[in-house]
A and B are shown apart, each in its own frame.
Chain A
Amino acid sequence: MRPQVEYLYRLAWRFTGSVADAEDLVQDVLLKLYPRTRQLVDIERLRPWLARVLYREYVDLVRQRARSPIADLAADAEGEDNPLDTLPAIKDGPEEHAERSGLRERILCALDRLNPEQRAVVTMHDVEGYSLEELETILETPLGTLKSRLHRARRRLRALLSVEPFSAGERVNG
């Protein structure tokens, strides 16, 4: 079970971008699955199956947060009209910026700005390498929806990674 737990953790971290959330998601999945351990042996392709269970937990977490006192924050963060985009800007050129920051860190931050569904499809497809057809089952979403979701996610990532982290306003010093 240990390699599967590590796999679940990796996916959970990719979904959430947070160590604490990843640990909680994995723990919740294990609590649900442990009584069904024998049943897991008969599952032909275990990892996609586990990914689907994990994704359901992730969706539950997102819904739980939407009901929380910080709902406004969560809702704002998920939309394409992220309030962050109206906050501080920096006026250095892209080349100077690229020298200062690691591409990996910038990608992780850009992923943080996708909504949960976009983040899930882009990480499962573009990072983990699942096909859209496989994701139809794992994410329980029709192919057409997945394609348009992936398209919007990539478009937003490209936009976020081609400009500065803060896209409006004026930096005055520092």
Chain B
Amino acid sequence: MECRDLTPQLDDCLDGRLDAAARRSIQEHLERCPDCRRRHQHAVALQAALRTLPAPTPRQGFVDQALSRATGAAAGAVRTLRRGALGMALAASLVLGVAVGVFLVTRPAPVPTVALMLERPETVRLMFNSAKPLQAATLSLALPENVELVGYGDRRELSWQTDLREGGNLLQLPLVARGTAKDELVARLSHGGTSKTFRLKFEVDNAGKSGM
């Protein structure tokens, strides 16, 4: 067996779908190939982590509320206007306009608010629209206290140099709230001596803490 033969068989191996001869062949290869052994161990570890991936329980009162609405609707009551899924998508997906060289001047807008559950990662999406490709723009993030970018611990300020392509450039920010966030997240995109600043507020709900 060669290294290139492992990839197509790895999933079947993880799922126990290989016959004894194929399993033995893989085992022998893993014993003599440290790279494939590491790849296999990584895959096994990921499967184990997925198996035990917790999910939150519904927030307090949600089940009663949902059942009540369902029964109310069945009885002919007017359906309560709920927060629409699409509306939430828009709320969590915020668009920044960026023009070449000169950033779009916009009227002062209310700072949008994103709801986060305590200790529960949520991905906030920022869309940067660029009329033309921008080389080496600088993106800076200042995170409020108690809000972390997943993977970056308690670092409050981060910045990167990146290229923007023409059209939409999606930045997904996996954020997790560690406590109440009083301040705003500030994202600043700078290019060619001009910059555009974007602010975001958070509402942190404690209900998620017991669910994870």
A residues apposed to B, CB below 8 Å: 1-2, 5-6, 9-10, 13-14, 17-21, 23-27, 30-31, 33-35, 61, 64-65, 68-70, 72-74, 76-77, 82-84, 86-90, 97, 100-101, 103-109, 112-113, 122, 126-127, 129, 147, 150-151, 154, 157-158, 161-162, 164-166, 168-174
One of B55, B155, B168 near A14 (C-beta < 8 A): B55
Tell whether B43 is near chain A: CB-to-CB under 8 Å.
yes
B residues apposed to A, CB below 8 Å: 11, 42-43, 46-47, 49-51, 53-59, 62-63, 66-67, 69-71, 73-74, 79, 82-86, 88-90, 92-93, 95, 115, 117, 120-123, 125, 127, 138-141, 150-153, 155, 157-163, 165, 167-172, 174, 176, 208
Q: Which residue of A lies closest to B92 (CB)?
A: A18
Whole-angstrom distance between the alpha carbons of A64 and B140 in the complex? 33
Given known contacts A6-B57, A21-B85, A171 and B172 CB-to-CB distance under 8 angstroms:
no
One of B125, B141, B150, B157 near A77 (C-beta < 8 A): B125
One of B50, B85, B123, B168 near A83 (C-beta < 8 A): B168
B63 to chain A, nearest CB (A): 5
Chain A contacts for B86, CB-based, 8 A: 64-65, 68
Chain B contacts for A108, CB-based, 8 A: 53, 121, 150, 174
Q: Which residue of A lies closest to B71 (CB)?
A: A34
Would you call A104 and B53 a contact (CB within 8 A)? yes
Given known contacts A84-B170, A104-B54, A27 and B157 CB-to-CB distance under 8 angstroms:
no
A162 to chain B, nearest CB (A): 7
Would you call B82 and A19 a contact (CB within 8 A)? no
Would you call B46 and A161 a contact (CB within 8 A)? yes
A24 to chain B, nearest CB (A): 4
Chain A contacts for B54, CB-based, 8 A: 104
Would you call A13 and B56 a contact (CB within 8 A)? yes
Would you call A129 and B150 a contact (CB within 8 A)? no
The contact sample of 28 A-B pairs, CB cut-off 8 A, is A9-B58, A18-B122, A19-B56, A19-B115, A19-B117, A21-B89, A24-B82, A24-B83, A30-B67, A34-B70, A34-B73, A64-B85, A73-B170, A84-B171, A88-B139, A101-B150, A105-B121, A105-B174, A107-B46, A112-B172, A157-B46, A158-B42, A170-B161, A172-B159, A174-B140, A174-B141, A174-B158, A174-B159
A26 to chain B, nearest CB (A): 6
User: Which among B42, B59, B162 has the greatest number of chain A C-beta atoms within 10 A?
Assistant: B162
Would you call B85 and A24 a contact (CB within 8 A)? yes
Given contacts A112-B174, A162-B42, A172-B138, 9 further A-B contacts (CB under 8 A): A21-B85, A23-B62, A30-B70, A87-B139, A88-B162, A97-B151, A101-B153, A173-B159, A174-B159
Whole-angstrom distance between the alpha carbons of A74 and B170 in the complex? 9
Chain B contacts for A97, CB-based, 8 A: 151
User: Which among A70, A104, A113 has the greatest number of chain B C-beta atoms within 10 A?
Assistant: A70
Whole-angstrom distance between the alpha carbons of A2 and B67 in the complex? 8
Q: Closest 9 A-B residue pairs measured CB to CB?
A: A88-B160, A174-B158, A30-B70, A169-B162, A101-B151, A34-B70, A109-B174, A100-B153, A20-B88
Given known contacts A1-B67, A19-B117, A86 and B150 CB-to-CB distance under 8 angstroms:
no
Whole-angstrom distance between the alpha carbons of A25 and B63 in the complex? 13
Chain A contacts for B140, CB-based, 8 A: 174
Chain B contacts for A20, CB-based, 8 A: 83, 85, 88, 115
